[in-house]
Amino acid sequence: MESKPRSLKILDAVTLILLLIATLLVFFFAPLEAVMGLVQKVFYFHVAAGWVGMLSFMIAAFAGVAYLRASHHKWDIVGLAAVEIGMVFAFINIVTGSIWARPIWNTWWTWDPRLTTATIMMLIYAAYFMLRSGIEDPDRRARFSAVYTIIGFLSVPLTFFSARLFRTIHPIVIGTNQPGAEGAFDMTGRMLATFLFGLLTFTFIFADLLWHRIRLGRLADTVEQLKMKTME
């Protein structure tokens, strides 16, 4: 059995260090927001998790296109890995958002466009797992999964847009706020630095997890093949 590649070990270490620094930055470097106080610190990892979620689903859709073009099994592994990671981070995104929303909006949940889109996005990828578990033939499973990730990813922006035509109360920290956004604030230089560092860190975490998950997928394939061999 192949051992863990050296570059992956290095990536593990770098990611861990980055996460440590990012956490320190959030608590000790970034200033306390004047109105919202401590709970605003959720923002740094909240947005970063949302970013990783979107990135994962985008990569899954690209892997889907690549699979349909080349029909090489590795793209199916990449797609599944990306969707699994995306689900976890989309969930982190929603949970941290709720923690922030409770004191600021005075509710855990509201049917705001971003929240609605995030929920529907998770439902799409939950359906993706159900689709996969319903198919035994690996080739067909890979083909159908690829098609579904493409369709799902295309529908997400449309869902967002359609929900956006209603009014929103979600603050837009980057870019201009619509009137009626609650809990908005302007980032100071230190906040911005912390925020960008958080994004970078989470992107590293994503890359690291994706690599691990793809490796796991490959190993699972090898195990499957060995099993078949012993059965013969």
CA dihedral 178, 101, 43, 82 (to 10 degrees): -100
In contact, 195 and 206? CB cutoff 8 Å: no
- Choose between 131 and 187: whose C-beta lies nearer to other proteins: 131
Q: Which is nearer to other proteins, 144 or 185 (CB)?
A: 144
111 binding other proteins? (CB under 8 A): no
- Please identify which residue in 7, 106, 133, 225 interacts with other proteins, judged by CB under 8 A: 133
Select the residue interacting with other proteins from 127, 216, 219, 220 (CB under 8 A): 127
The Cα 29–Cα 43 span in angstroms is 14
Under rule CB under 8 A, how many of the chain's residues touch other proteins?
A: 28
Q: Is the CB of 71 or the CB of 177 nearer to other proteins?
A: 71
Residues 144 to 173 in contact with other proteins, rule: CB under 8 A: 144, 146-148, 150-152, 154-155, 158-159, 161-163, 165
Point out which span in 51-59, 101-109, 121-129, 202-210 binds other proteins (CB under 8 A): 121-129
* Concatenated DSSP letters of 102-145: HHHTSSS----HHHHHHHHHHHHHHHHHHHHHT---HHHHHHHH
| Part in contact with other proteins (CB under 8 A); list of ranges 29-37, 52-60, 124-132, 201-209 | 124-132
Closest approach, Cβ 75 to other proteins, in A, equals 13
Q: Among 11, 39, 58, 68, which residue interacts with other proteins (rule: CB under 8 A)?
A: 68
Length of the chain: 232
Among 39, 88, 95, 120, binds other proteins (CB under 8 A): 120
Q: Which is nearer to other proteins, 75 or 197 (CB)?
A: 75
Q: Is the dihedral of CA 208, 120, 38, 195 positive or negative?
A: positive
- Please enumerate, as own/partner, the contacts of 180-183 that have beta carbons within 8 Å and a separation of 24 or more: 182/104, 182/105, 183/36, 183/100, 183/101, 183/104, 183/105
CB neighbour burial string for 137-148, b if at least 16 within 10 angstroms, e if fewer: eeeebbbbbbeb
58 binds other proteins (CB under 8 A): no
- E-strand spans in the chain? none
Binding site for other proteins (CB under 8 A): 68, 120, 123-124, 127, 130-131, 133-136, 140, 143-144, 146-148, 150-152, 154-155, 158-159, 161-163, 165
